[in-house]
Amino acid sequence: PILVEDLGMSLAAAGLVGTALALGMVTASVAAPRAVRALGRDRVMKVGLVVAAASLVGMVLVPLVASGSVAFGIILGLVWVCATGGGSVLNASTARLSEAHPEHSARVITEANAAAAWVGLFSPLIRKTSRSRLKAPSGRRPSGRRSGGPTWACSTARSRASSARRSPPPRAWSR
């Protein structure tokens, strides 16, 4: 729903994004054990973080080089890569938590998952709350200035002082 509401995507396109995420997690689940045996947990975590970060940067840069369905296809591929890197980090960090807390590994992993779930649950709410604060009432900017800015305020003060005419009201601020 967030992709549909905020970005205006169709339900089918949003479903493809979810599918790319799921395929990335499956890829990470299959590849991570082999990667951990070959590289070790710490390296897998570092490589996974770099892969996820690089793919996120790539997603931001895609609109500069492509548009339309080509850009969407590239972004879907990058979502898959990002989920693969993130899934590798998740798998390796879970094993690292279990190794670091052998007597309480189940509790520690459950608490880490609960913390991640709370972040995932509340981040859209925080985003919507901060966005609603930006919608200022009746022609006012969030900073408290009138919509026309300081120039409008100065010209209004001058025109009121010099004549009885009033300057036109400011346009309503929009995002």
Q: Full-prediction pTM beyond 0.85?
A: no
Local confidence pLDDT in tens for the 175 residues of the chain = 677 777 778 888 888 999 999 999 999 999 988 998 899 889 999 999 999 999 999 999 998 998 888 988 999 999 999 999 999 998 888 888 888 888 988 888 898 889 888 888 887 777 666 555 555 455 444 444 444 433 333 333 344 444 444 445 445 544 4
Distance between CA atoms of residues 96 and 51, nearest Å: 19
Kindly report the backbone phi and psi dihedral angles of residue 146, in degrees, each rounded to the nearest multiple of 5, phi listed first: -70, 160
Q: How many C-alpha atoms does 118 have within 13 Å on its Cβ side?
A: 5
For 71, residues 6+ apart whose C-beta sits below 8 A from its C-beta are 62, 63
Would the CA dihedral through 23, 83, 75, 118 be positive or negative? Answer: positive
